[in-house]
């Protein structure tokens, strides 16, 4: 059984900058990195909650709630410091959306894995190279943990560190395979485009169940109902699904006319005050949708 309990907790700009200076002083040019985040599971919105790092000797946990964007920028935009990652796209996009940080010099093991024709996730590679740590870390359970809490429970810390513990060893094995299959140059070229930042994002209501099959009027209604739910979720700092299930939003979008009686039956939220606020906002959204539909039909 593996335990990752020895680490340094970085919770200030001073501590992070000192670490970066130390790496530069001693010629550390590559670090293994991963994130833990909050994605509308416990509170509203997307949040970077933890940065875990392994420099092949020591483990570090950076608390982004206590470290400034400028210090994070110095770390992640450093072109001389390779960031060894597995599937960096969502993490890179989170950095950009939240902090306007453009992740540079990434070596994405998921990219090399695909070039080699290997399937599966990080745990699959750990098993393939006899590095599996599933006995000590319940990964499925911790993926939905609350990473906003402080102090973090030991089990969550162990889980977080386990995701960077083997990245250097996996890179070594994948590099060996790439050399044997004469794919080294292909991998090197692919790494130049490993970071894929989305400059435009699909509007949330377009992801509602069945949205693509909706008629024009239904899509307009879906937009207004969705935004009403988002407003209340943001005001209360709650995940949108705790306000109203997305399937109910989609179902309401198909109704010719939304009434208060209908909403009372369809909304199962046990919080009476929240339910009243939501019904009010949805009825206002219905009015706004009808008005937009009428305006479009006139034009």
Cβ atoms < 10 Å from Cβ of 220: 20
Which of the four pLDDT bands, split at 50, 70 and 90, describes residue 134?
Answer: low
Strand, coil or helix: 1: coil
**pLDDT at residue 1 in the model:** 39
Q: Give which of 34, 254, 276 is closest to 159, Cα–Cα.
A: 34
DSSP secondary structure letter of residue 153: P
Is residue 279 within 8 A of residue 267, CB to CB? The reply is yes
Integer Cα distance of 248 and 244 in angstroms: 7
Total-model pTM: 0.91
Q: Cα 196–200–206 angle (5° rounding)? A: 115
Please say if the pLDDT value at position 135 is more than 60.
no
pLDDT tens digits, one per residue of 99-112: 999 999 999 999 99
Please say if the pLDDT value at position 12 is more than 70.
yes
CA dihedral of 20, 24, 25, 30, whole degrees rounded to 10: 100
Alpha-carbon distance values, 77 to 13, 92, 112 (Å): 16, 11, 22
Averaged pLDDT, 227-233: 98
Averaged pLDDT, 239-267: 96
Q: Give which of 4, 3, 10, 5 is closest to 61, Cα–Cα.
A: 10
């Amino acid at each position: 059984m593996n335990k990752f309990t020895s680490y340094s907790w970085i919770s200030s700009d001073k501590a992070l900058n000192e670490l970066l200076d130390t790496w530069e002083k001693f010629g550390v040019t590559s670090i293994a990195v991963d994130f833990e985040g909050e994605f509308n599971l416990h509170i509203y919105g997307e949040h970077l909650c933890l940065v875990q790092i392994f420099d092949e000797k020591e483990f570090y946990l950076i608390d982004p709630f206590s470290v400034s964007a400028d210090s994070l920028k110095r770390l992640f935009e450093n072109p001389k410091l390779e960031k060894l990652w597995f599937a960096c796209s969502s993490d890179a996009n989170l950095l950009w959306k939240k902090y306007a940080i453009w992740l540079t010099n990434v070596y994405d093991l998921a990219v090399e894995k695909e070039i080699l024709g290997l399937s599966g996730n990080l745990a699959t590679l750990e098993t393939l190279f006899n590095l599996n740590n599933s006995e000590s870390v319940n990964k499925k359970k911790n993926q939905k943990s609350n990473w906003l809490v402080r102090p973090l429970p030991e089990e969550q810390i162990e889980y977080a560190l386990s995701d960077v513990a083997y990245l250097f060893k996996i890179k070594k094995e994948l590099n060996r395979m790439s050399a044997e299959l004469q794919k080294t140059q292909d991998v090197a070229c692919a790494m130049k485009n490993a970071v894929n930042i989305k400059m435009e994002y699909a509007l949330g209501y377009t992801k509602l169940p069945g949205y693509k099959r909706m008629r024009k009027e239904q899509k307009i209604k879906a937009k207004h109902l969705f935004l009403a739910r988002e407003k209340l979720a943001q005001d209360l700092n709650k995940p949108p699904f705790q306000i109203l299930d997305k399937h109910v939003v989609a179902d309401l979008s198909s109704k010719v006319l939304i009434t208060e009686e209908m909403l009372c039956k369809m909304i199962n939220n046990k919080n009476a005050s929240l339910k009243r606020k939501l019904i009010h906002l949805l009825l206002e959204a219905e009015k706004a949708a009808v008005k937009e539909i009428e305006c479009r039909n006139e034009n």
